[in-house]
Amino acid sequence: MIKVGIVGGTGYTGVELLRLLAQHPQAEVAIITSRSEAGLPVADMYPNLRGHYDGLAFSVPDSKALGACDVVFFATPHGVAHALAGELLAAGTKVIDLSADFRLQDAEEWGKWYGQPHGAPELLADAVYGLPEVNRDKIRQARLIAVPGCYPTATQLGFLPLLEAGLADETRLIADCKSGVSGAGRGAAVGSLFCEAGESMKAYAVKGHRHLPEISQGLRLAAGKDIGLTFVPHLTPMIRGIHATLYATVADRSVDLQALFEKRYANEPFVDVMPAGSHPETRSVRGANVCRIAVHRPQGGDLVVVLSVIDNLVKGASGQAVQNLNILFGLDERMGLGHAGLLP
C-alpha cells in the first residue's frame, strides 16, 4: 500500500482526493491536514465519506509525520508547498502539488503573477509539469509533480494536436473559457455566494489571469516557438465544470482534423475525441477524470473551433493528481479512476 498524506483536506480539491482515493486499491490515506478543523473526524465534515475513512481525523500539518508518507499531495493555496516541499523531498517523500507553486519554470515570472517572490526556486529543476498526455515519461522519473491548473488542462489538450502538427497560426490563438464556481475553492467570498453567482454569467480577469502564463508556457513548448494567446475566463452558475471554446486559424483546409485529433489521443485513456459534429457537455464529465473534445471547422472556413470540457475538480485537479500518482508508482494509470460522468 502507498502511504498518502494530504495537506489541505478541507478544501474542494482535498475532499475530491479523498473521494477518489477511497476507491483506490493501492493507496491508503494516513494523514489529512487542516489547521482550522484539527481533531474533527473526516466524515463529520464530509458525510459522503462515512464508512470510507473510519478513524481518520484532520490534523495540523506536521512535516515530520508527513515525511514518513510515501507521497504527499498539496491541496493548498499557493505558497504552502514552497514552504514544505523541500523538507519532504529530503525525507524521500514524493510530492504532488495541486497548487501553482511549481507550474511555471521561470521563478521571476511566477513572482510577477503571484505577487510575491518564488519561495523555492532551487526546486524548480526537479519539478515536472504533470500533464500525462505530454510528460508521461518525465513523470515516471519525477519526485516533484506540478499538477496543471483546470483552465490550462482543458485549453492545452484542445490546442495541442493543432500546434504539435504546426497547423495553426500560433500567433493568434483564442481561448474562451467558462468555469463552475467550485473553481474558486471553498473559502468564503462574496463572488461565490449563491445570490451573486446564480442566474448570471460574467467574464473576469480579461486583462490577465494567472493561468495565462501557464497555458502559454505549455503551448509554446508544443509549438516549438513563441505563441500569442488571448485567454478570457468566465464564471458560470454551475458547481463543477470547465468548458473551453478554442479558436485557431488553420489555413490548410485539406487537413482531416478529426483524424488528426483521433490519432493524437488514440492511446490516451482520459481524452475522448468525440465523433465529428459533436458538442461535448460539462455534465458528461462531472465526477470523471476525462477531457472530452470535439473539433469543428464551421462552414469549411479557415477558423477552427475546438470544444474541450473537463470537471475542474477531477481532470482539472484531483483526478489528474491521482493519474500522476499511478504513473509515479508504476501502477496502471487508470487505477481508481474508472468513474463515468454523473449524468443527469
Ligand X SMILES: NC(=O)c1ccc[n+]([C@@H]2O[C@H](COP(=O)([O-])OP(=O)(O)OC[C@H]3O[C@@H](n4cnc5c(N)ncnc54)[C@H](OP(=O)(O)O)[C@@H]3O)[C@@H](O)[C@H]2O)c1
Contact set with ligand X (CB under 6 A): 7-14, 34-37, 61, 75-78, 80, 98-99, 149-150, 182-183, 185-187, 312-313, 316-317
Task: Return the C-alpha cell found at 132.
Answer: 500525462
CB of 251 to ligand X, least distance (A): 35
Torsion of CA 277, 280, 281, 282, to 10 degrees: -160
Strand-pair partners of 308: 244, 293
Q: What minimum distance in Å lies between the beta carbon of 147 and ligand X?
A: 7
The identity of residue 56, as a single letter, is L
Q: State how far the Cα of 159 lies from the Cα of 307, in Å rounded to an integer.
A: 10
Smallest gap from residue 157 Cβ to ligand X (A) = 14
- Among residues 69, 150, 177, 291, the one annotated as catalytic is 150
Note the Cα 292 to chain centre separation in Å: 14
Assess contact for 282 and 237: CB atoms under 8 A: no
Distance in Å, CB of 189 to ligand X, minimum? 9
Q: What CA–CA distance (Å, rounded) separates 67 from 267?
A: 35
> Which residue in 235, 108, 218 sits closest to 173, CA to CA?
218
Q: Residue 24 or 209: which CB sits closer to ligand X? A: 209
CB closer to ligand X, 57 vs 165: 57
Q: Which residues contact 184 (CB under 8 A, 6 or more apart)?
A: 191, 192, 235
Query: Considering Cα of 160, then 166, then 167, then 169, what sign does the dihedral take?
Result: positive
Question: Looking at beta carbons, which residue is closest to ligand X?
Answer: 11
Shortest Cβ 303–ligand X spacing (Å): 29
195 flagged as catalytic: no
Partners of 245 in the β-ladder: 176, 307
User: Of the two residues 241 and 336, which places its CB atom closer to ligand X in the complex?
Assistant: 241
Query: Which residues participate in catalysis according to the annotation?
Result: 150
